[in-house]
Structure 1
């Protein structure tokens, strides 16, 4: 039963992100509730389902592995996690505009069309390949599913939008990091990203790394002498 509740809470967590942001649902809720009301409802729903998910996670059966991590999996996660944090910090601190009418691509958006979702996906996949037990596989697979859904949904919104800004943004950016730059559709402007965002991402990573054993009970640096 605890495992079934955990799986159900994972589905609810995914739906709490997917349903309110679904094209058609989001505009209807915005029209009825206004932006402040929509953001409040979305936040409460997300916090509630996340709390249920955490409680179910703590009570789930921890026995059994679906796979065993490869040698060096933990080292790979530690080495690449700063990239995930920089992507997410840059996303939060860079103005985007409306989903169907984004601002011209600048900063981190020159590197990837979906910096926040790409950062979350990288975080989830790095942890997924470094774990293997059923409880944490469900956790990180759920987060990866949320990130992938966000990317697919946002790309769908851009493609369906009649706004010229949306078409220009999509044509000039790429989902895969650095793809648009490599194919000449975009150029790298490090000054737009800024040293502050990079340092902010690294500082947040260092703080999480330090708190990880206390908060999550796992030391990512256990392999160090």
Structure 2
């Protein structure tokens, strides 16, 4: 199989198993395996298919970039990754979308910080991370990989809206009515003040630390030097 065909095949397998096990197959598998057993199987399948994707991506031959990448594009991509990092860290606290105790109580709170930006900050963080990588590594292989990650994040978020409405009922529907799927949609539409969307301290500090650490590791692991480290040191 050609390297690009293999990459596309593994990406389809990765996305397909995620979506099938998260939605149409979830109830049946969970009833047979139990919730804990289902989570173990789900994790094994997710990790295994992701490893296949990474191996296929690493097996791609060198490809010329589809457009020139200069400092301006690197700076913009780095800022996007910083914003994505803040969304991700902020999503770890008080997120009704997470499968954690207290989700319904969290859904009763007024949306603030990253949740005033979007009710799916974690998934938008992944999608924006994927976008930034295409911006600075515009090769066919990277585009396929990033598109896969972005699609899974956003399609998964849309499916999560449906699933959470079924599981949490009015609690989720009320949360959805007070938040937006698309980042900053409520602020742009005048339904919410911009001040509500200011990320809280833990999201800002944690996001900056994650951004600095991840971009430093990018170069330390032998990949392209990323983030602020391109201009420091």
| TM-score interval, smaller chain | 0.7 to 0.9
Secondary structure of 2:91's counterpart equals helix
Contact 1:3 1:61 in 2 (8 A): no
> What's the offset of the Cα at 1:186?
4.3
Q: Assess, with a 3 A threshold, how the Cα gap between structure 1 residues 140 and 190 changes in structure 2: closer, same or farther.
A: closer
- 5+ residue gaps, structure 2, are none
Q: Which moved more, 1:176-185 or 1:162-171?
A: 176-185
Query: 1:184 Cα deviation (Å)?
Result: 5.1
2:118 is the counterpart of 1:112: yes
The answer to whether the aligner puts 1:13 opposite 2:14 as a matched pair is yes
Once the two structures are superposed, residues 11-32 of structure 1 have per-residue CA deviations (whole angstroms, 9 ceiling, x without a partner) of 112123211112x422332222
Q: Which runs of 5+ in 1 are unaligned?
A: none
Residue 194 (structure 1) aligned with residue 195 (structure 2): no
Match of 1:143 among 140, 149, 162: 149
Task: Give the root-mean-square deviation of aligned CA atoms.
Answer: 2.7
Q: What residue number does 2:48 align with?
A: 48
What residue number does 2:231 align with?
A: 224
Number of the residue aligned with 1:39: 39
Give the structure-2-normalised TM-score: 0.82
Deviation digits for residues 129-150 of structure 1, max 9, x if unmatched?
A: 2221112111111111111211
Listed as ranges, the matches of 1:173-188 within 5 Å are 173-183=179-189, 185-186=191-192, 188=195
- In 1: Cα distance, 2:184 partner to 2:63 partner: 40
Match of 2:4 in 1: 3
Paired residue for 1:154? 160
Question: Are the equivalent residues in 2 in contact too, given 1:69–1:131 (CA < 8 A)?
Answer: no
Cα distance change, pair 50–218 in 1 and its aligned pair in 2 (3 A): same
| Kept in 1: contact 2:91–2:121 (CA 8 A) | yes
CA distance in 2, matches of 1:208, 1:86: 13
- 1:57-95 deviation per Cα after TM superposition (whole angstroms, max 9, x unaligned): 111222344x21465221101122111011111112333
